[in-house]
Amino acid sequence: MKRLLVITVLLGMSISLFAQTPSINIIPIPVSVASKTGSFTFTDKTVIELTSSSPEATSVANFLSRAMATPAGLKLPVVSKATGTSIRMVILSPEEKALGNEGYKLSVSSAEVVLSANKPAGLFYGVQTILQLLPKEIESKKLEKNVQWTMPAVEITDYPRFAWRGLMFDVVRHFFTKQDVKDFIDDMVKYKYNLLHMTLSNDEGWRVEIKSLPKLTSVGAWNAKRVGTFGNFIPPTDSEPRNNGGFYTQEDIRELVKYAKDRFVNILPEIDVPGHSLAAVASYPELSCTPGAEKYKVRSGEKIMEWPPNGHFYALVDNTICPANEKAYEFLDKVFTEVAQLFPFEYIHVGGDECAKNFWEKSPQIKALMQKEKLKTMDEVQSYFEKRVEKIVESKGKKVIGWDEILEGGLAPNAAVMSWRGVKGGIEAAKMKHEVVMSPTTHAYLDYMQGDAVIEPPVYATLRLKTSYEFEPVPDGVDAKYIKGGQANLWTEQVYNMRHARYMVWPRAFAIAEVVWSPKEKRNWSGFVPRVEKQFERFDVAEKKYSPGMYDPSFKATKNPKNELMVEMATEVDGLDIHYSFDNSFPDKFYPEYSQPLTVPVDASYLKVITYRSGKPLGRMITMPVNELKKRAGIK
């Protein structure tokens, strides 16, 4: 009887909670949400009342007006004084300290909408919330008739947990156009990201015009086109055309910076040195200390590196800028002079990751440098380089941030650290009182597979949505004041176009958005999933691609004492039924439902599975070879 009473109470609580928050499916979840009775309806009489004359605030009001124009067919004029129903935008004076520069308050009643903030950035993020409160058809590219443009009455107070809320877009491994970058920015601001990290140089290309070094783009921006599995491509012949790639002119960069600024996004440029610099070396071979560098070409995706068991990178070609070469520092002074003028953001990212040092070990110039500077290890050689780079960057009025490898051999005095190899480097840097951005592969690498390797495009590892949602940027024992925030990264070795880029980013970027914006105590996986599904509906309307990987099961293969192959399956989303077959046919909801570990029939070739909810398929049809399961179980 007690158990029945508890179930009844819990059911009543869940019904009450649902009744209190109809259609509140915002990502990232706000600090405070209180639903009220009623709703606000947009009509052809609705206006946006803006009490501020600030150009930035006016831009935000116009942003909302444009967002409504096509799908709703409403003009929403911006006025200084409203006489009818209105969305009133207010810059607070005096300011409310709790809201900071990016927070807002939103009050929706049947009579009006009041959006208030200390700064225009807060108004902008409040507008993103307004758009998420509207019907999903707000994402349509055409006029949507027969839609009632209402949003629920609600009181919201909201502000970010972290100031640094980043997404990284690798436009080097595969080049993405200026419009692609704008589209990427448009996607990220919907979920209150404010930092776009653009990696602009690597082995596969140099993507930003440096006028004093024209070969960087005339040579370094181009390779031979390859399609397939990156890293395993056939090396191009000398006669193959090198016409695949591209770069951004300085005018392009200025346009992108302004586009981002209008949406309250900073752009962090990355020039990755001393490793990952084959495009630069192919353009200017004198940057190397290795004989024969004049024969190097920009990489097209062929194998140029090995990863021995000791974890140190072993280069097959020297893709590094030589720390013992004074020409390297003259080169970087020119590069950072122009980069600093193009990007107003206070930081420049200098890379520092995955630097293979085997060619340095054979270099007489490096040995002479070590003797002169009393350097004992190759890590100290890189540290010498990083410290000189920091001085160059600081001479341009900028701060340095780099991947956590810049810790090795000694950290430059003022450098910030972006921790990608887990959070260990970030913890070390924070304890040294350096600023840190957490961006660990374990939770935030969007180039990783989103499900099992048998169905995903092959990359280094799998990162499921739930794991991304478990990301915590402030580890235990670390002073939070040194953690600037968090970031998710999309490397594009295996990403060839914008459709697939979105597939890799979403929904995991929903998770990271909530991690870096919302209060830690507000995060709840079971509450997050239905909000993700509502965002899927919006993406469907917008015809944007996303991954349904959260509906697919994971597979664990083992062998029992009889040496029989066993397989366990599980889903990260609750309430899914897994149906399966071993007879090579395609299962549906009428096939056996998985309930306990399965013994794989001795003659089976494939396990096929699909997930359902309430009788409707949600997951993808997955065909798992039995030989793959045997391999994972260690059965020969």
**pLDDT at position 22, please?**
52
CATH of domain 552-633: 2.60.40
* Percentage of the chain lying above the pLDDT 90 cut: 93
Q: How far is CA 416 from CA 113, 372, 400, 431, 593, in A?
A: 41, 28, 6, 12, 51
pLDDT in tens, 213-243: 999 999 999 999 999 999 999 999 999 999 9
Residue 312 has pLDDT above 80, yes or no: no
pLDDT in tens, 47-59: 999 989 999 999 9
Over range 109-123, report the average pLDDT: 97
**pLDDT at position 23, please?**
66
> Helix (H) and strand (E) counts for the chain?
18, 28
Q: What are phi and psi for residue 17, nearest 5 degrees?
A: -60, -45
Residue 276 burial by Cβ neighbours in a 10 Å radius (0-12, 13-18, 19+): buried
242 neighbors 224 (Cβ within 8 angstroms): yes
Question: Which residues, 6+ apart, have CB-to-CB distance to 403 below 8 Å?
Answer: 351, 352, 353, 417, 418, 420
Identify the DSSP state of 620.
P
Residue 568: name the closest of 551, 581, 555 by CA.
555
Residue 212 has pLDDT above 90, yes or no: yes
**pLDDT at position 305, please?**
92
**pLDDT at position 173, please?**
97
The rounded mean pLDDT for the chain is 95
pLDDT in tens, 477-486: 999 999 999 9
What residues pair up with 170 in beta bridges, in sequence order? 199
88 neighbors 112 (Cβ within 8 angstroms): yes
Q: What CA–CA distance (Å, rounded) separates 234 from 232?
A: 7
Q: Which helix (H) or strand (E) holds 105?
A: strand 104-108
Q: What CA–CA distance (Å, rounded) separates 144 from 368?
A: 71
Question: Which residues, 6+ apart, have CB-to-CB distance to 13 below 8 Å?
Answer: none
Over range 594-602, report the average pLDDT: 97
pTM of the model: 0.95
Residue 74 burial by Cβ neighbours in a 10 Å radius (0-12, 13-18, 19+): middle
Residue 526 has pLDDT above 60, yes or no: yes
* Percentage of the chain lying above the pLDDT 70 cut: 96
Q: What CA–CA distance (Å, rounded) separates 43 from 75?
A: 10
319 neighbors 356 (Cβ within 8 angstroms): yes
Q: Is 489 left (phi over 0), alpha (psi -120 to 50) or beta?
A: beta
Answer yes or no: same fold for 20-158 and 164-542. Answer: no
Nearest 5°: the CA angle 570, 576, 581 is 70
Nearest 5°: the CA angle 411, 350, 191 is 110
Q: What CA–CA distance (Å, rounded) separates 508 from 512?
A: 7
Q: What CA–CA distance (Å, rounded) separates 428 from 377?
A: 20
Angle between helices 525-542 and 508-517 (to 10 degrees): 120
**pLDDT at position 10, please?**
41
Q: What CA–CA distance (Å, rounded) separates 384 from 381?
A: 5
Q: What CA–CA distance (Å, rounded) separates 336 from 351?
A: 13
Return the CATH superfamily for domain 164-542: Glycosidases (3.20.20.80)
pLDDT in tens, 424-470: 999 999 999 999 999 999 999 999 999 999 999 989 899 999 999 99
Over range 400-410, report the average pLDDT: 97
Of the pLDDT bands very low, low, confident and very high (cuts 50, 70, 90), residue 83 is: confident
The CATH topology of domain 20-158 is Chitobiase; domain 2 (3.30.379)
pLDDT in tens, 243-284: 999 999 999 999 999 999 999 999 999 999 999 999 999 999
Domain spans of the chain, in order of start = 20-158, 164-542, 552-633
3-state class of 495 per DSSP?
coil
